[in-house]
Amino acid sequence: MIDFIRDYGLILILFIIPVIFALQPLFLPRIEKMHIQLDVAELKRKKLLIYRQIKELEMEYDIGNINENDFISGRATLKKEVSEVIAALKSL
């Protein structure tokens, strides 16, 4: 009898808690602000990735994997991209 209560009681608790945890957000007021927080993080990440790409481009040029013209145009494109991202971040 005690086993029965223990097992099924345990199951009940282990069931109820996840359900409550999962349903909790539904009772909050509708959230819009999240978007902005998330967009900032996304843009920051994008900026980091573009900087890395610029560094790698410089390395490829040093080794000789890209010719001069491609290097200059490639770097210009990336720098333009990064300045767009920085501008977008500033506006938020």
Partner 1 sequence: MTPIAGGVALNLAFGFSILTVITLFLHTRNGDQRLFLTGQRLALGISFFVFLATFILAFQLIQSNFDIDYVARYTSLETPFIYKISALWAGQSGSLLFWLFILSIYTTIVILQNQRKHNSLMPWVIITLVIVQIFFLILTNYVTNPFKPTDADFIVTNGNGLNPLLQNVTMAIHPPTLYLGFVGFSVPFGFAISALINGDTSPLWVQSIRRWALVAWLFLSMGIILGGWWAYRELGWGGYWAWDPVENASFMPWLTATAFIHSIIIQEKKDMLRLWNMSLIIMTFTLCIFGTFLTRSGVMSSVHSFTASSLGPIFLTFVFLIIVVSFGLMYFRRNELKSVRKMESFTSRESGFLFNNMVFVVLCFSVFWGTLFPVISEAVRGTKITVGPPFFNQMNIPIGLILLALTGVGPLLAWRKTGRKSLIRNFTFPILTGLSTAIILLFVGFRGYVIISFSLGAFVTATIGTEFARGIYARRKKFNESIIKALIRMVSKNRSRYGGYVVHLGIVFMFVGFTGHAFDDEKEFSLTVGETDHVAGYTFELMKLSEAERPNHYAWISDLRVTNQEGKFVTNLHPEKRIYFHNNPDPNRRQPHSELDIYTTMNQDIYSIFSGVDSENGVAFIKIMVNPLVRWVWVGGFILVFGTMVALWPRKD
* Residues making contact with partner 1 (CB under 8 A): 3, 7, 10-11, 14-15, 18-19, 21-26, 28, 30-32, 34-35, 37-38, 41-42, 45-46, 48-49, 53, 55-56, 59-60, 62-67, 70
Residue 50 burial (CB < 10 Å; 0-12/13-18/19+)?
buried
Helices (H) and strands (E) in the chain, counts: 3, 0
Nearer to partner 1, 21 or 90 (CB): 21
Tell the smallest beta-carbon distance from residue 17 to partner 1 (Å).
9
Nearer to partner 1, 35 or 90 (CB): 35
Go through the chain and tell me how many residues it has: 92
Residue 81: name the closest of 47, 57, 58 by CA. 47
82: which 2 tokens?
A: 């990064």
Nearer to partner 1, 59 or 83 (CB): 59
